[in-house]
Amino acid sequence: MTARRVVVVGGGFAGLAAAVRLGRGGAQVTLLERRPFLGGRAYSFADPATGEVVDNGPHALMGAYTEALDFLREIGASAKLRVQPRLRVALAHPELGVGEVAAPPVPGPLQAPLALLRYRLLAPGDRVRLLAGALRLTARDRALAGRTVAQALADVGQSRAACERFWHPLAIATLNEAPEMAAAAPFAAVLRRAFFAGARAARFALAAVPLSELYTADARHAIEAAGGSVVTGAAVASLALEAEHARAVLLRDGRRVDADAVILAVPCAALLRLLPPALRAAPPFRALAAVGTSPIVSVHLWLDRPVGWGSSFLGLLGGRAQWLFDCGPARDGGRRVASVTSGARFWNDASDEAIAAEVLADAGAVLPALRAARCTRALVVRERHATISLTPAADAVRPRVTTPLANLFLAGDWVQTGLPATIEGAVQAGREAAGRALGAPLVRARAEAARRAGVG
């Protein structure tokens, strides 16, 4: 029996997860990636000045990311993660000092709720309202449709202090959008999964290796070991459609890759460029033209000394820089740290020098040791279209993995999974698309049978 031919376009988390699952399901997989390397919007590269390998931005996983963690296990990459024994997130305020959302050593279901009640940067009354508000948010479900995070937090009586010192940092990091614009429903889904699904779900996990080393090579090996192929530097021009089915993927260099099913695991804007005009103008695709994007700015800082704060990452309150990650020793004997700031439109027109200076100032306001350190190099990485801008309107038009074409499927963090545009959402969509592709009607077999019967 001839294996089902499935072409996956896009080599990020979604595409790789789809291709690995397809290979394990017996399909003949061809993965096409436009760039000369895999990784999508989570990748590593060599800093041109120091030669050190850096990530395009710090990425954190949670225990609640069950699909992403299972994908890493599937390709043999789990050992490359450093997982917290229990939930611990430190946040630093210029005037109030450092506070931790830290789980005590108690039975699992109580850990995350008690962590909220122990958060010292809020007054005791605000902590109680924080936990009560979190419980109410996670229970509202459909009532959150059309609501922003800011509106939903007001609905459940959250104070300004609680918003500034807990909710807003968490929401912006999760949704990559300002609370006044971001959709509340996917935020509540993350709360439900992370804080109220047991102790393991609330823990954070960080890569112990550069991002590209975390998953791209292992995923490629898994695909090829199952008989599939991975082609980089393969820019897709369009799809060949026939009788409302995708028949092939057409490359810009003139090559044609025939397919029984196609999974487009590319960003939303790139998807629209690949579709023929008639399909692009039809539901669900036509609504996607109005979906915007939101940036993430990361700044890698080489310092002449350690400025450790006792944890892997630190939330920065009181400024515009948001999170600081300890990246370990630098080659020159100093220390490298990296900041990540989501929804950073305010830096769209700023120079790299101005951005780095602001990050140093914001971090120095809460870390006295950093004020005494000398920064020997700063590298600013801008992902101008890091994710979709997940407003309530955008959330309402996110398509599912299926399309009007029976053998064409979508994957990516922007596809409707109920989650924000996260690694977990990308992997979930990729695996679901793979399952659908494996079960799609095999049009090739029907066409060949028709030809044998003298029909068509």
Q: Are residues 250 and 318 in the same domain?
A: no
What is the arithmetic mean of pLDDT over 142-163?
96
Range of the domain at 255: 5-43+211-290+391-449
Q: Are residues 280 and 398 in the same domain?
A: yes
Between helix 13-24 and helix 211-225 the angle, nearest 10°, is: 30
Residue 454 has pLDDT above 50, yes or no: no
CATH number at residue 330: 3.90.660.10
pLDDT confidence of residue 377: 97
In a domain, 55, yes or no: no
Please list the residues that pair with 62 across neighbouring strands: 204
Give 384-399 pLDDT, tens digit per residue. 999 999 999 999 999 9
Phi, psi of 121 (to 5 degrees): -80, 0
Burial (Cβ within 10 Å: 0-12, 13-18, ≥19) of residue 427: buried
Q: Are residues 219 and 260 in the same domain?
A: yes
Q: Mean pLDDT, the chain, as a whole number?
A: 94
pLDDT confidence of residue 456: 39
Please list the residues that pair with 380 across neighbouring strands: 299
Residue 449 has pLDDT above 60, yes or no: no
pLDDT confidence of residue 256: 98
Could you say which of 342, 366, 388 is where a domain stops? 388
CATH number at residue 35: 3.50.50.60
Q: Are residues 268 and 364 in the same domain?
A: no
Q: Are residues 170 and 302 in the same domain?
A: no
Q: Are residues 333 and 266 in the same domain?
A: no
* Total tally of structural domains belonging to the chain: 3
The 8-class DSSP code of residue 4 comes to P
Q: Are residues 444 and 345 in the same domain?
A: no
Q: Are residues 145 and 17 in the same domain?
A: no
Q: Are residues 23 and 113 in the same domain?
A: no
Please list the residues that pair with 242 across neighbouring strands: 245
In a domain, 68, yes or no: no
What is the arithmetic mean of pLDDT over 328-354?
96
| Number of neighbours of residue 453 by Cβ within 10 angstroms | 8
Q: Are residues 229 and 188 in the same domain?
A: no
Give 353-379 pLDDT, tens digit per residue. 999 999 999 999 999 999 999 999 999
Q: By percentage, how much of the chain surpasses pLDDT 90?
A: 89
In a domain, 113, yes or no: yes
Take residue 293 and report the two structure tokens written for it: 């994007």
Inter-residue contact 66 to 247 (CB < 8 Å) = no
In a domain, 126, yes or no: yes
Could you say which of 179, 199, 219 is where a domain stops? 199
pTM: 0.94
In a domain, 39, yes or no: yes
Residue 445 has pLDDT above 90, yes or no: no
Rounded-to-integer distance, Cα 42 and Cα 81, Å = 15
In a domain, 304, yes or no: yes
In a domain, 149, yes or no: yes
What 3-state class would DSSP assign to 49? coil
Take residue 88 and report the two structure tokens written for it: 């611990």
Instruction: Give kind and range of the element (H or E) at residue 116.
Output: helix 108-117
Q: Are residues 248 and 310 in the same domain?
A: no
pLDDT confidence of residue 134: 95
Task: To the nearest 10°, report the CA torsion of 202, 306, 93, 168.
Answer: -40
| Number of neighbours of residue 80 by Cβ within 10 angstroms | 16
Centroid of chain to Cα 42: 8
Confidence band for 142, pLDDT divided at 50, 70 and 90: confident
Q: Are residues 279 and 302 in the same domain?
A: no
Could you say which of 177, 199, 221 is where a domain stops? 199
In a domain, 74, yes or no: no
What is the arithmetic mean of pLDDT over 195-204?
89
